[in-house]
Amino acid sequence: MIIVKYQAGALGNFLSSVLHEDIKPLIKLDYGNTRKILHTGSYDGPDDLLFKKSISTKPRYVSHNNPKFENWINDIKDSQNIFIDLKSNFVEYRLNYIYKMPDWNLALNKYAIEHSWKDYPHPIACDDARRIFRLNQNQEQMIKLDQTRDVIFNFGNFYVEDVNIWISHFKKLLERVAVTITDDELELWFKFFRQGQTSILEKAKVLYKCIENKKFVQGLTENEKGIIIGYLAVADNNNTAKYFIDTYTTLTKTLK
């Protein structure tokens, strides 16, 4: 059994699909294939009757991003575990989360407005700014690394622009988990991944430019403004509500 462990939104379904012998390169933002990959995020917990039915036949691949299954995952002794580590590319990560799981993101936004940032201006932007800061401090990942068992695959590897370097990262992973994929097939995965991620790549380019120039541009959502503020907060090592709100006000003045 191969288990891909990751924070929701960190492309674990995609990596599972690449590794799976019976899934060929495809262009699809979600990349999930629930018929061939067991996805813990599809179930309420290990006691879920649908989950128990799904494991009646031992799955070959498990895509794991549901904290409720941590004990179940840890109890499996004969698995090969891959941990997608979020250490960079937080812009692409948050955009994937927002685009792939809009209902979950709306719930986060609602909670920020009604609870965590209720008495503050710009609650959604503040919430995402704090999240970016926490990601940078490695305090946000709910799925935990097992240093004794897990093979680490960095999330940033997905966004390498050079196809040869991209392939080399995947080949190193394949060697660790004893899976064979041809270079030609990996090249096709790279091509289709870039196509499937077109909207995210384009938006990420805009956000990184905003971070570099310390400015907002027209058309940004509150989540995207928060991502920009979060990066600036990391650069200034300031994680306070006052910093988030003051920066929001300053960057709003840059809009034309």
On whether the CB atoms of residues 158 and 14 are closer than 8 A, the answer is yes
CATH number for the domain running over 1-86+141-196: 3.40.50.300
Write the pLDDT tens digit of every residue in 20-52.
Answer: 988 888 777 666 555 789 999 989 999 999 999
Q: List the structure tokens of 178.
A: 């004893």
* Element (DSSP H or E) covering residue 207: helix 198-213
Who's near 191: CB < 8 A, 6+ residues apart?
25, 163
- The count of C-alpha atoms lying within 13 angstroms of the C-alpha of 175, restricted to the half-sphere facing its C-beta, is 6
Amino acid 30: pLDDT: 63
Model pTM? 0.94
Mean pLDDT over each residue of the chain, to the nearest integer: 93
Q: Map residue 128 onto helix, strand or coil.
A: helix
pLDDT of residue 35: 73
User: Using one digit for the tens of pLDDT, what is the confidence trace for 195-228?
Assistant: 999 999 999 999 999 999 999 999 999 999 999 9
Q: Is the pLDDT of residue 192 over 70?
A: yes
User: What number of other Cβ atoms are within 10 A of residue 153's Cβ?
Assistant: 25
Give the three-state DSSP class for 243: helix
C-alpha distances out from residue 164 to 31, 79, 160, 194, 239, Å: 22, 29, 9, 14, 38
Task: Break the chain into its structural domains and give their ranges.
Answer: 1-86+141-196, 89-140+198-256
